[in-house]
Structure 1
C-alpha cells in the first residue's frame, strides 16, 4: 500500500509540474490574475457549496438507505456525483443556447437533451447496479 501511495504521489507531483510549465509557457502574464481568480473561485465553490451538498446527500442517503446495502448507497452516491459533474459541465452550453450565441455554429448540439439522456443512462446503470448488489446480498444471506 505504501508503494502504491508513493507512486500516486510521484505521479501527482510530476503532473502538477507539467501543468505549471504549460501554464507559464502558454498563458500570457497579463491573464494570470484572471486564471488565479478563477482557480480560487473554484476552490471556494467546491468547499462552500459542493462538499456540503455531498455531505448532506450522503447523510440523507444513509438514513433512507435502510433498505439498501452500503454498496447500493455507494452506487447512488457515485451516480449523483457523476450526474452533478455532468450538469456543471453542460450548464454553460445550455445557458449560452438560451441566451443565443453570436456565432450559431459554435453551439451545435442540443446540450439539454444530451444532459437529460446522460441522466437517464446514469439512472439506468445505477438501478442495475443496485439491483445486482441486492440480488448478490440476498443470495449470500
Structure 2
C-alpha cells in the first residue's frame, strides 16, 4: 500500500473526506428541497426507474454479453474488448439525450447544432479501432514471448 491505513495522516484524510462528503450531500439535499413537490416526485421516480432499469435489464445483459465474449474471444482480447464495451456504453449513455433532437429547438439554432449521430458513430469506431490495436499488440507480444522461450541454443 502507498500509505499506512492506520496512521494519523490517513485518519485525518478520512475524516476530511467524510466531512466534505457530508457537506456535499447536505448541500444537494438542500437544493432539491427548493423544488416543487411535483418535480421532487418526478426526480424520485426517474431515480428509482434508473436503478431498476440497471438492475433488471442492463446488468444481466452485460453479464451475458461478457460471458459469451469470453467463450468466443481469445484471452488476449478479453481486456481490450471489455474496455471497448464499457467505453461504448458510456458514449451511448452520454449521447442518448441528443441523438434524435436535431430540430427540437427551431427558434434557437445554436442548441443541438451538430450532427450528433455521426459524432457518436465516429467515437465508437475510434474506440473499436483502438481495441483492435490493443488486442493485436497483446497477441504480438504473447507470440514474441512464446517464440523467445521456445528457442533453444545448441552447443
Same fold (TM over 0.5): yes
* Deviation beyond 4 Å, 4+ runs, structure 1: 10-16
Residue 53 of structure 2: aligned partner: 45
The offset of 1:20, in angstroms, is 2.0
Q: Pick 1 or 2: higher relative contact order, CA cutoff 8 A, min separation 6.
A: 1
CA distance in 2, matches of 1:12, 1:44: 29
Question: 1:105: how far off?
Answer: 2.2
Matched, 1:116 2:124: no
Larger Rg: 2
Q: Counterparts of 1:97-116 in structure 2 under 5 Å? A: 97=102, 100-102=103-105, 103-116=108-121
> How high is the TM-score relative to the length of structure 2?
0.73
Structure 2: tracts of 5 or more residues without a match: 147-155
Asked if 1:77 is matched to 2:85, the reply is: no
Q: Alpha carbons of 1:108 and 1:45: their partners in 2 closer, same or farther (altered >3 Å)? A: same
Q: Structure 1 unaligned segments of length 5 or more: list them.
A: none
How many residue pairs end up in the alignment?
132
1:75–1:18 Cα change, 3 Å: farther
**What is the TM-score normalised by the length of structure 1?**
0.79
Q: Distance in 2 between matches of 1:12 and 1:125?
A: 36
User: More helix by proportion, 1 or 2?
Assistant: 1
